[in-house]
Amino acid sequence: MGEKINRLKSVLVDKDMTQKELAEKLAVSKNTISRICRNETQPSLKLLRQIAILLDVELWELLVPIKPKK
């Protein structure tokens, strides 16, 4: 099985938005967003698209792996 990755947590920081604010705008639980940020679950393509639109980013920007800090 492939590695589950997303950049939602870092994009939220870049956009100065909390997980709670995003959850409210998407009408999902904060727990759902938290689990996505921790890579415990992956969003459906529909939810991922909604997130990208809300955060004003390209969908692929939420999926590009973060380069490890040296």
Task: With respect to residue 68, please indicate whether it lies within any of the assigned structural domains.
Answer: no
Residue 49: inside a domain: yes
- How far is it, in rounded angstroms, from Cα 31 to Cα 57? 22
DSSP 55: H
What pLDDT, in 10s, does the model give residues 8-55? Answer: 998 999 999 999 999 999 999 999 999 999 989 889 999 999 999 999
Q: Which two tokens stand for residue 10?
A: 């870092």
- The residue segments making up the domain with residue 52 are 8-62
Number of folded domains that form the chain: 1
Q: CATH number of the domain that 54 lies in?
A: 1.10.260.40
The verdict on residue 69 lying in a domain is no
The whole-model pTM stands at 0.82
Judge whether 67 lies within some domain.
Answer: no
Residue 58 lies in a domain: yes
Is residue 37 a part of any domain in this protein? yes
